A = this chain, B = another copy of it.
Amino acid sequence: MDTRHMHIFMALAETLHFGRAAERMSMSQPPFSRQIAMIERMLGVKLFERNSRNVALTPAGEHFMKDCRTVLAQFEDACRDVRLVASGMKGELRFGFMMHAAHSVVPQLVQLYSEARPDVRLVLDERTPTEIDEMLVGGTLDAAVTFGCGYTPHLQTVLLTRERLRIIMRADHPLAGAAQIGPAALRAEKIIATPVATAPALRSAINSYFSAKGIVPNVVFEPRLQHTIIQLVAKGLGIALIPESLCAGLGAGLTSGTLTDPPQLDVVLCAPIVSKNPAVSTFMQIGKAIQHASKSI
């Protein structure tokens, strides 16, 4: 028994006429008649009551007709869907990003991609930059937004935006309201910074900002998440350099300031150069479209 037999059965079930059903199946009536007999033999069930002038479905035939419709439709869907998946039009894409990137380019990227590929399920996974690197290499992420960090031999990257760091402090801090703040002004401050292990590029940018003026920052706390850094600053436990995109939504009692010659970090979209996931190429193209849009402003 096979779907071809179901098609044959359906042709007769819908026409109740051997000759017309055979025509519908592009075959002559005698082999069609034999096929019907064979289907009934294979199932061990009488599907049609018939004589030389009348054909009618049995109750079992009526029931089988409903099931066949469903099975044949699902069969066609399976064949169509595998083609859609192969072409990247359908499937799943595991997308990682730094938490704070959700405040900048990630929503736009997600929106544009979801509109372009409504049948691809985006699996959103907030991760630290270090985790992102590991998961991209390990094949547990298909693409990700992270800080650009130099040489990436088997990853393709698209520069989405560049992001400056700003200094944040409590609103009652002596430096609050200063027009520009340089490293020298921060010499004596307690600094709260993300650890190297969590975000090497970010921490490296902070370190470089100070060391360029021969200053060693007094880092007193190194929590993993930017969110935690902001909370500790709110408690008056120090000040911090954080990505600009996080500064738009600071709570009451907090303020941010402009750094002199602020460090800048590349925010890039990464994916393996060779990906097994057909959905990734369109995702990267949309990243490139965002890149081009930001360049032309």
Are B45 and A63 in contact, with the CB atoms below 8 A? no
Chain B's closest residue to A61 (CB) is B82
Shortest beta-carbon contacts, A-B, top 8: A67-B78, A60-B86, A64-B82, A45-B86, A63-B85, A60-B85, A2-B2, A3-B3
Smallest distance from the beta carbon of A63 to chain B beta carbons, Å?
4
Kindly state whether residue A1 has any CB partner on chain B within 8 Å: yes
Q: List 12 additional contacts besides A45-B86, A46-B86, A70-B78; criterion CB under 8 Å.
A: A1-B75, A3-B3, A43-B82, A44-B86, A47-B82, A59-B91, A60-B83, A63-B85, A67-B82, A68-B78, A74-B74, A75-B75
Candidates B3, B82, B277, B278; contact of A75 at CB < 8 Å: B3
List 11 A-B residue pairs with CB atoms under 8 Å apart, sorted by A's residue number. Answer: A3-B3, A6-B78, A43-B82, A44-B86, A46-B86, A47-B82, A59-B277, A64-B81, A67-B77, A71-B71, A71-B74
Chain B's closest residue to A7 (CB) is B2
Number of copies: 2
Candidates B4, B43, B44, B59; contact of A276 at CB < 8 Å: B59
For A2, A46, A91, the residue with the greatest tally of chain B CB atoms inside 10 Å of its CB is A2
Binding site secondary structure of chain A? helix
Chain B's closest residue to A277 (CB) is B59
Kindly state whether residue A79 has any CB partner on chain B within 8 Å: yes
Are A79 and B1 in contact, with the CB atoms below 8 A? yes
Q: Which of A50-107 contact B (CB under 8 A)?
A: 58-61, 63-64, 67-68, 70-71, 74-75, 77-79, 81-83, 85-86, 90-91
Chain B's closest residue to A79 (CB) is B1
A86 to B47, CA, bound (A): 9
A226 to B277, CA, bound (A): 71
Smallest distance from the beta carbon of A119 to chain B beta carbons, Å?
12
Are B63 and A81 in contact, with the CB atoms below 8 A? yes
